[in-house]
C-alpha cells in the first residue's frame, strides 16, 4: 500500500456506533476490496499501540548457510535447484519424516503407514496414482519449507509444490476423504509458505464444506460396517478441521465456521497410527504418550477456544439465546474458563526428551488462548487488574518459549509464529501501561530481555516474511519510550508520583532502543467508554502524540498487511 509521506495528527477515538465492525475493514492490497479483520485477531488491540509508530524500518539480517552441517540426503537434494525434481525413494522418506515429526503431531489427518505404502508404490510402479503423487509432493513441499528454514539451506518447497499441482487438476476432490486430505495439505502449506499465495480463509471453508458433505461431524462407528481405521481417521480429520477453523477464525477475527452444536464432539482414541490398524488394543504405559496424546490435548483446547470466541468475542451483544446461552456474570465466566485453561496446562503430557517440540507447541497454544480470554474483548472491554496480571504472565512466557525454540534452532517460521510473537509483545506493552502494579514490580532489565527475545524471533522470521522486519522495527520503536519511562519511574520516590509526566527524562544513549524526546503519561481515573472505545480509553491520543510524535495510521495497516495479506 502506498501512503502519503506527510505525517498526520493522532487518530481520534471513534464513536461507539458500528465500531466493532468498522475497525476491521482493512485494505490488504492494491485493487482489492477491504477485508474484515475482527476482534479476536487483536486488530483493535494492535491499533492502540501500533498507531504510535511513525515509520517502518528496512533492516535486514544476513542468512548464514549451514549446508555443511546437514544430513547427507539434504546435501544431495540441495544441488537440484532447476529443472525436473530428481528425488529417490530413500531421500523422499527421509525428507517426509520432517512433516510427521512436526506437523503430524498437531494435525494428524494423514495415516503414516498408509502414506508410506503409497510412497513405496509411487516410486516403484509405472502407473501413476494422481492422489498419491499430489499428497507425496505436498508433504515434500511442507517438509522442504520447514527444513530449509531450520537449517538455512536453499531447499525450495515451492518446487515440490509446483510439481504437486501438476496432479491437482486430475484429482476428484469432492466427496472423498482423500480429496479432503489433499485440501488440508494445501492449507498447511499455505500457513508455512511466504511466497505462494493461497487463500487460507477460503481453503478453510472448503475443508469445512467437505467435512459436512462427508458427514465427518457425526459419529459413525464400526457397527455401521466401516473399519476401525476408517472410524478413527474420520474422527481425526474432523478434529483437525475443527481445530484449524478455530485457529484461523481467531487469528483473523472472523466467525467460527463449524459450530459446536452441529457436531458430535467425540474424541479420537489415543492410539498410534500403527495401532489403529490392529484388531487388538495395545497396552500403553501411562508415561509413554503417543503422537495422538498431544493432538488430542490440542483438540480439547480448541473446544475452550470455541467458548471464548462465542462469549467474549461476540460483536452482537443482543444475540438471541438460541444462538448461545446468555452469560449472567461475564467476570465469573471468565474466571471459570481461566481455571479450565490452567487445569488443561497442568494436564499437558510429559516431555519425551529435552528437545520435545510437541510439548512446547502445546504450551504456546495454551498461552495464546489464555491471552485471548484475558485481554480486552467486545464483551469484556475492561478486564480487571487480576486478569491483566495473568494476561501479562502469558505474554511474557509465550515470548520466552518462542525464544527458547529459536535458541535451540527448533523455531518453525510460519504465519502462526509471526502472528503470535507480535501479539504477545503488544499484549505485554498494554499490560505494563495499564496495570500500575506490573510496572512497579517489573525490572527494567527483565523488560529489555523480553523485548530482545521478541525482536530476535521476529528477525529470524523476517528472513522469510518481509512483514516481520517491519513489525520488528515498529515494536522496537514502541519499546523505547516504555523502557525510558520505566527507568524514570525507578527514580521517583513514592507511589503517589506514579502518574507524573516524565517528559523531562532522557534515557542513556546506549539503551539499545530508538530515541524519543517525550515519555508516556499514565492516565488515571479515566472514564472508559462502553464496548470497543475502552481499547483507546486507557491511552488517549494526546498520550500517543506526546510519547511518539506525529503518528502514521498506515503502520497499523502495514502490520495487519504483513500478518494477513497472504491469507485472504
Cβ contacts of 555 within 8 Å, gap of 6 or more: 50, 51, 53, 54, 55, 56, 474
Q: What is the pLDDT of residue 74?
A: 59
- Say whether pLDDT at 560 is over 50: yes
Q: What is the pLDDT of residue 325?
A: 72
- Distances in Å between the Cα of 124 and the Cα atoms of 74, 89, 143, 539, 553 are 22, 9, 22, 65, 58
Could you give the CA distance from residue 530 to residue 431 in angstroms, rounded to a whole number? Answer: 19
In this structure, is residue 232 part of a structural domain?
A: yes
Q: How confident is the model at residue 266 (pLDDT cuts 50, 70, 90)?
A: very high
Q: What is the pLDDT of residue 198?
A: 87
Q: What is the pLDDT of residue 231?
A: 95
Q: Which residues pair with 36 in a beta bridge?
A: 25
In this structure, is residue 53 part of a structural domain?
A: no
- Say whether pLDDT at 168 is over 80: yes
Instruction: Identify the helix (H) or strand (E) that includes residue 308.
Output: helix 291-311
Could you give the CA distance from residue 417 to residue 405 in angstroms, rounded to a whole number? Answer: 11
Instruction: Name the range with the highest mean pLDDT among 231-240, 485-494, 549-558.
Output: 231-240
- Say whether pLDDT at 121 is over 50: yes
Could you give the CA distance from residue 136 to residue 93 in angstroms, rounded to a whole number? Answer: 10
- Say whether pLDDT at 373 is over 50: yes
Domain span at residue 448 reads 83-277+290-316+329-348+355-489+560-566
* Whole-prediction pTM: 0.81
Total structural domains within the chain: 1
Q: How confident is the model at residue 85 (pLDDT cuts 50, 70, 90)?
A: confident
- Say whether pLDDT at 206 is over 50: yes
Average pLDDT over residues 49-53: 49
- Say whether pLDDT at 468 is over 90: no
Could you give the CA distance from residue 185 to residue 198 in angstroms, rounded to a whole number? Answer: 12
In this structure, is residue 27 part of a structural domain?
A: no
294 phi and psi angles, rounded to 5 deg: -70, -45
In this structure, is residue 42 part of a structural domain?
A: no
Could you give the CA distance from residue 363 to residue 377 in angstroms, rounded to a whole number? Answer: 22
Cell numbers 499484549: residue? 427
In this structure, is residue 306 part of a structural domain?
A: yes
Q: Angle 103-157-424 (CA atoms, 0-180°, nearest 5)?
A: 50
In this structure, is residue 40 part of a structural domain?
A: no
CB 244 within 8 A of CB 108: no
500 C-beta neighbours (distance < 10 Å), count: 13
In this structure, is residue 234 part of a structural domain?
A: yes
Amino acid at each position: 500500500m502506498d501512503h502519503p509521506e506527510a505525517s498526520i495528527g493522532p487518530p481520534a477515538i471513534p464513536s461507539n456506533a458500528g465500531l466493532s465492525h468498522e475497525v476491521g475493514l482493512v485494505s490488504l492490497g492494491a485493487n482489492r476490496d477491504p477485508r474484515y479483520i475482527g476482534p479476536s485477531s487483536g486488530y483493535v488491540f494492535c491499533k492502540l499501540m501500533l498507531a504510535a509508530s511513525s515509520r517502518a524500518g528496512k533492516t535486514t539480517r544476513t542468512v548464514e548457510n549451514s549446508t555443511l552441517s546437514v544430513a547427507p540426503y539434504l546435501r544431495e537434494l540441495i544441488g537440484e535447484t532447476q529443472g525436473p525434481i530428481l528425488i529417490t525413494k530413500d531421500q523422499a522418506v527421509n525428507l517426509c519424516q520432517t512433516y510427521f515429526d512436526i506437523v503430524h503431531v498437531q494435525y494428524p489427518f494423514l495415516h503414516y503407514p498408509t502414506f508410506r505404502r503409497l510412497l513405496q508404490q509411487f516410486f516403484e510402479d509405472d502407473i501413476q496414482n494422481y492422489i498419491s503423487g499430489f499428497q507425496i509432493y505436498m508433504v515434500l513441499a511442507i517438509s522442504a519449507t520447514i527444513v530449509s528454514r531450520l537449517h538455512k539451506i536453499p531447499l525450495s518447497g515451492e518446487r515440490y509444490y509446483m510439481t504437486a499441482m501438476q496432479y491437482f487438476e486430475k484429482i476428484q476432490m469432492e466427496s472423498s476423504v482423500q480429496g479432503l486430505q489433499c485440501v488440508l495439505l494445501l492449507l498447511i502449506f499455505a500457513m508455512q509458505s511466504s511466497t505462494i499465495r493461497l487463500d487460507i480463509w477460503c481453503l478453510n471453508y472448503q475443508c469445512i464444506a467437505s467435512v459436512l458433505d462427508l458427514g465427518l461431524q457425526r459419529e459413525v462407528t464400526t457397527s455401521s460396517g466401516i473399519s476401525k481405521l476408517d472410524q478413527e481417521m474420520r474422527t481425526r480429520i474432523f478434529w483437525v478441521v475443527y481445530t484449524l477453523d478455530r485457529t484461523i477464525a481467531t487469528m483473523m477475527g472472523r466467525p467460527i465456521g463449524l459450530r459446536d452444536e452441529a457436531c458430535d464432539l467425540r474424541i479420537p482414541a489415543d492410539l498410534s497410527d500403527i495401532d489403529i490398524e490392529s484388531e487388538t488394543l495395545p497396552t500403553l504405559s501411562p508415561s509413554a504418550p503417543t503422537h495422538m496424546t498431544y493432538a488430542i490435548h490440542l483438540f480439547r483446547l480448541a473446544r475452550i477456544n470455541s467458548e471464548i470466541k462465542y462469549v467474549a468475542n461476540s460483536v452482537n451483544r443482543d444475540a438471541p439465546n438460541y444462538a448461545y446461552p446468555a452469560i449472567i456474570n461475564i467476570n465469573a465466566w471468565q474466571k471459570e474458563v481461566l481455571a479450565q485453561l490452567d487445569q488443561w496446562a497442568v494436564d499437558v503430557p510429559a516431555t519425551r526428551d529435552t528437545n520435545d517440540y510437541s510439548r512446547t507447541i502445546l504450551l504456546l497454544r495454551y498461552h495464546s488462548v489464555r491471552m485471548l480470554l484475558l485481554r480486552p474483548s467486545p464483551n469484556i472491554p475492561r478486564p480487571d487488574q487480576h486478569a491483566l496480571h495473568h494476561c501479562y504472565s502469558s505474554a511474557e512466557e509465550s515470548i520466552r518459549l518462542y525464544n527458547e525454540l529459536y535458541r535451540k534452532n527448533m523455531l518453525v517460521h510460519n504465519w502462526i509464529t509471526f502472528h503470535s510473537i507480535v501479539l504477545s509483545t503488544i499484549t505485554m506493552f498494554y499490560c505494563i501501561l495499564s496495570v500500575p502494579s506490573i510496572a512497579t514490580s517489573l525490572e527494567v532489565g527483565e523488560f529489555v530481555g523480553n523485548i530482545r527475545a521478541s525482536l530476535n524471533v521476529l528477525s529470524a522470521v523476517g528472513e522469510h516474511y518481509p512483514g516481520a522486519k517491519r513489525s520488528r522495527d515498529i515494536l522496537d520503536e514502541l519499546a523505547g519510550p516504555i523502557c525510558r519511562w520505566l527507568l524514570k519511574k525507578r527514580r521517583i520516590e513514592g507511589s503517589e508520583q506514579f502518574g507524573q509526566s516524565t517528559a523531562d527524562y532522557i534515557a542513556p544513549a546506549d539503551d539499545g532502543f530508538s530515541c524519543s524526546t517525550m515519555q508516556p503519561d499514565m492516565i488515571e481515573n479515566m472514564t472508559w467508554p462502553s464496548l470497543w472505545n475502552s481499547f483507546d480509553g486507557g491511552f488517549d491520543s494526546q498520550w500517543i502524540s506526546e510519547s511518539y510524535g506525529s503518528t502514521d495510521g498506515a503502520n497499523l495497516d502495514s502490520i495487519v498487511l504483513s500478518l494477513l495479506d497472504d491469507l485472504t
